[in-house]
């Protein structure tokens, strides 16, 4: 449970953790590399723990030293147990890496349903194009590449982040060249390519719509620093915005923040970007964030939509959201309404009429970023807000409550939800 006594006014400086959405594919990539890989700036999160348990099950030794995660590759197994697949949907990104390394892979469909349907059809058809034979029975996938993985031209129907990563992992040691058309352009894709290239891969164009991969024979572990988490940065920016605060974030990549700047500027915040840090100064009362349409990068990210909705909830006027990536991504709206927000959701559109102030109440996180949005709103609310479902938040935020407390919020996190 997270307990917040609001309203807060945030001030001070914190550093931003490494990116969860980069760390998970990087750990899957370690499957491909002989010897030792060292990931610096690796966040301490439950999703990262799950990825480590998958690696250990496959036969790798993982050691954490502060924010370094060291992976010694000694693969003995090509199967991910069902329990681990069900804990984290993104474990599907291990598929391409394992089948490339072992010539076969077995895993069940990732379980649960948090943001609406999250199919893996694009992952499967893309791997099939590279010559991977995939059989499906009883909710499990059995993959084989008896003749090795073959480079191919693959055009994705949608620039899926996970499918692009899976393809890169499968193709980096394939025979011949792979071309991914309509690839996802998210910065996490570039981070994965940078690591794979450091390990001996030959990937060109990552971060563009067309990625070219010349297959290499083998990869050797290397050191890599995980990129800063752009969604965590947006979360702290939103926290400063709703509290009329002024904070400085260290260890950010300012280029990655650009697609998210518009709502902060629209709402009257002053954002100053300097080298690897960012300062945000919020007005006493926010203006509306106006119009947010989530899109693949470099559009506005779906993962930042919930925390910006918390800003809209207290902005002076009307804001409109259109969620184009996931079907069920307004579950935080109910919690925000409990705090007094005026939000109407109709399919993929949400209309937010900003209110003068929110009032603390017990609320329940239903997913990771939605949970963070409730914490952000709780900082602005008068009185006590209790946020349950903190296990979702721990999947992606390293000590969210502790960091906000160090910025002056009255917030504590208790270990177990009663
Ligand atoms: C990744 C991120 C997630 C982020 C999302 C969009 C990780 C671990 N997760 O998720 O935080 O919200 O990108 O930026 O990096 N789709 C299909 N078929 C597929 C795959 C995807 O139809 O085979 C659809 C999905 O249903 C969804 C859209 O494509 O509507 C986006 O999915 P995708 O980009 O693949 O997101 P993830 O990789 O799951």
The pLDDT value recorded for residue 418 is 46
Q: For the chain, what percent of residues have pLDDT higher than 70?
A: 98
The Å distance, Cα 418 to ligand 1 centre, comes to 33
Give yes or no for a contact between 26 and 382, defined as CB atoms under 8 angstroms apart. Answer: no
Contacts for 415 with CB less than 8 Å, ≥ 6 apart: none
Whether the model pTM is above 0.85: yes
pLDDT at 361 over 70: yes
Supply 180's token pair. Answer: 């991914």
Average pLDDT score over residue span 329-343: 97
pLDDT at 294 over 60: yes
Place of tokens 């099950």: 57
User: Which ligand 1 atom is the nearest neighbour of the CA of 22?
Assistant: 15
Smallest Cα–Cα separation from 140: which of 89, 52, 88, 81? 81
Average pLDDT score over residue span 268-291: 97
The Å distance, Cα 162 to ligand 1 centre, comes to 6
Residue of 77, 102, 113, 140 marked catalytic: 113
The pLDDT value recorded for residue 110 is 80
User: Which ligand 1 atom is the nearest neighbour of the CA of 47?
Assistant: 8
The pLDDT value recorded for residue 346 is 96
Buried b (16+ CB within 10 A) or exposed e, 182-209: bbbbbbbbbbbbbbbbbbbbebebbbee
What distance lies between CA 270 and its chain's CA centroid? Answer: 26
- Where does ligand 1 bind, in terms of residues with CB under 6 Å? 21, 24, 90, 117-123, 158, 160-163, 184, 188, 301-303, 325-326
The pLDDT value recorded for residue 42 is 98
Residue 389 Rama label (left phi>0; alpha psi -120 to 50; beta): left
Give yes or no for a contact between 143 and 183, defined as CB atoms under 8 angstroms apart. Answer: no
The Å distance, Cα 157 to ligand 1 centre, comes to 13
Average pLDDT score over residue span 380-399: 97
The pLDDT value recorded for residue 116 is 64
- Domains of the chain, each with CATH number or no CATH: 2-16+228-413 (3.65.10.10), 20-225 (3.65.10.10)
pLDDT at 177 over 50: yes
Which of the pair, 142 or 76, is modelled with greater confidence?
142
Give tens-digit pLDDT for 73-106.
988 899 999 889 888 888 999 999 999 999 999 9
Average pLDDT score over residue span 305-323: 98
Residue 66 pLDDT grade (very low, low, confident, very high; cuts 50, 70, 90): very high
3-state secondary structure labels for all residues of 130-172: CCCEEEEECCEEEEECCCCCECCEEECCCCCHHHHHHHHHHHC
Q: How many residues can be counted in the chain?
A: 418
Give the residue whose CA is nearest to atom 12 of ligand 1. 303
Supply 9's token pair. Answer: 């006014």
DSSP output for 89-132:
GGGGGHHHHHHHHHSEEEEEPP---SSS----HHHHHHHHHTT-
Q: Is the peptide bond before 284 cis (omega within 30 degrees of 0)?
A: no
Among the listed ranges 85-89, 111-115, 187-191, 334-338, which one has the minimum average pLDDT value?
Answer: 111-115
Distance, in Å, from the CA atom of 375 to the CA atom of 301, rounded to the nearest integer, reads: 19
Average pLDDT score over residue span 384-401: 97
Give yes or no for a contact between 408 and 8, defined as CB atoms under 8 angstroms apart. Answer: yes
pLDDT at 113 over 60: no
């Amino acid at each position: 449970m997270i307990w917040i006594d609001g309203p807060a006014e945030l001030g001070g400086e914190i550093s931003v953790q490494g990116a969860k959405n980069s760390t998970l594919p990087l750990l899957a990539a370690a499957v491909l590399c002989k010897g030792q890989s060292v990931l610096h700036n690796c966040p301490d999160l439950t999703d990262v723990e799950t990825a480590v348990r998958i690696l250990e099950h496959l036969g790798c030794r993982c050691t954490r030293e502060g924010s370094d995660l060291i992976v010694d590759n000694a693969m003995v197994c090509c199967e991910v147990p069902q329990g681990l697949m069900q804990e984290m949907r993104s474990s599907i990104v291990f598929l391409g890496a394992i089948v490339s390394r072992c010539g076969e892979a077995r895993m069940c469909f990732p379980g649960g349903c948090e943001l609406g349907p999250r199919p893996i059809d694009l992952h499967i058809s893309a791997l099939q194009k590279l010559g991977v034979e995939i059989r499906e029975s009883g909710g499990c996938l059995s993959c084989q590449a008896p003749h090795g993985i073959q480079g191919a031209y693959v055009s994705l129907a949608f620039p899926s982040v996970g499918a692009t990563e899976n393809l890169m992992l499968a193709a980096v040691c394939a025979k011949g060249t792979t071309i991914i058309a309509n690839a996802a352009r998210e910065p996490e894709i570039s981070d994965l390519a940078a690591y794979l290239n450091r390990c001996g891969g030959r990937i060109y164009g990552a971060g563009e719509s067309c990625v070219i991969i010349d297959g290499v024979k083998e990869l050797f572990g290397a050191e890599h620093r995980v990129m800063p988490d752009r969604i965590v940065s947006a979360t702290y920016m939103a926290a400063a915005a709703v509290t009329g605060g002024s904070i400085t974030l260290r260890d950010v990549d300012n280029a990655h923040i650009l697609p998210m700047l518009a709502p902060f500027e629209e709402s009257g915040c002053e954002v100053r970007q300097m080298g690897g840090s960012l300062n945000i100064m919020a007005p006493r009362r926010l203006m509306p964030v106006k119009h947010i349409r989530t899109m693949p990068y470099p559009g506005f990210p779906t993962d930042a939509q919930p925390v910006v909705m918390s800003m809209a909830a207290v902005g002076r006027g009307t804001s409109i959201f259109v969620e184009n990536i996931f079907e069920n991504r307004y579950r935080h709206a109910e919690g925000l309404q409990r705090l007094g927000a005026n939000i109407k959701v109709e399919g993929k559109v949400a209309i937010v009429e900003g209110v003068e102030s929110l009032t603390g109440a017990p609320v329940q996180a239903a997913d990771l970023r939605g949970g963070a949005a409730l914490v952000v709103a709780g900082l602005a609310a008068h009185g006590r807000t209790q946020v349950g479902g903190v296990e979702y938040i721990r999947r992606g935020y390293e000590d969210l409550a502790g960091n906000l407390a160090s910025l002056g919020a009255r917030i504590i996190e208790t270990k177990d939800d009663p």
